[in-house]
Amino acid sequence: MASIALRLFSMVLMSSMLALVKIADMRGVAVVESVFYRQFFALPLVLIWVVRGGGFATVKTKRPFAHLWRMALGMTGMVLNFSAYTLLPLAEATTIGFTVPIFATILSAVLLGEATGWHRWSAVLLGFVGVLVMVNPGVDNHLPPAGVMVAIAASITIAGITITLRQIGRTEDTVTTVFWFTVTSLVPMGIAMIFFGKIHDPLTWVVLVAMGLVGGAAQLAMTASLRFAPVSVVLPMDYSSLLWATLLGWALFDMLPSPTTWLGAPLIILSGLYIVYREHRLQRSQAMTAVTPD
């Protein structure tokens, strides 16, 4: 129960952070700035987490280059994801973000040679049908094509991050991964701020500080939820973010999802849930096989 509550709370925080990204964009903040301040103001929370969890000795790593690769993917994904939320309504950007498991399945099969049965390929196809229904290309064009393409690119990149984290997770714990991602990302983003950084009014600074703190808290709550239950139990809670995005979009921007979004979203969500279910079933089967005596 605690794991589900934490995961739901993290989704509320994550949706709130992305709403703040959209507000910051409306106040003239560049996406690069938002990404930098998201990481910068989240750093104190991460440092407190590390210190309370055993100190800096616990985040020593033997795989620095793996963390650098994860950082490069993470920063690319964050820039693309933040850009998608500035270009699209909250609910639509969130729904396209649900395609991450679909692209992770494809990348795992193509890049890692992972065996993928017809069950998961069928789920992938269902997910793409859901995207087509939601985007409704060539009919009403209610979504800007550039925003849709950026959102899909973000999902592909985040899917790559998911696969990378699986590899790193074999030798590194979550605290180590989060710490090095937060710290190393500030270097390239700090350099980028030389070109993109601007002076803002006090209210905009409040938005930026809140964005970093809320985003950092969301990441910590999301990670903490995995301490009490496996991924297969808590991951379905991520789809609640569509509810929070819809409420925030209506309350803050007077935007509600289009009818095609309500038609396509269930297909995308069902696709993602089925992929998670099949992967969990496969992992359980492999675990049982590993402990079965000859």
* pLDDT tens digits for range 252-292: 999 999 889 999 999 999 998 888 887 777 777 666 665 55
**C-alpha distances in angstroms, 120 versus 109, 111, 152, 158?**
11, 16, 19, 19
**Is residue 251 predicted with pLDDT exceeding 90?**
yes
| Domains of the chain, residue spans | 2-291
Supply the angle between the helices 2-26 and 202-225 in degrees, to the nearest 10. 160
Q: Cβ distance 127 to 267 under 8 Å?
A: yes
Q: Which pLDDT value is given to residue 140? A: 62
Q: How far apart are the first and last CA of the chain?
A: 38
Give per-residue pLDDT as tens, 156-195. 999 999 889 888 888 888 889 999 999 999 999 999 999 9
- For the stretch 56-84, pLDDT in tens is 888 999 899 999 999 999 999 999 999 99
Q: Is 175 exposed, middle or buried (0-12, 13-18, 19+ CB in 10 A)?
A: middle
Dihedral of alpha carbons 128, 129, 130, 131, sign = positive
**Mean pLDDT, the chain, integer:** 89
Mean pLDDT value across residues 240-252 = 95
Q: Are the CB atoms for 77 and 191 separated by under 8 Å?
A: no
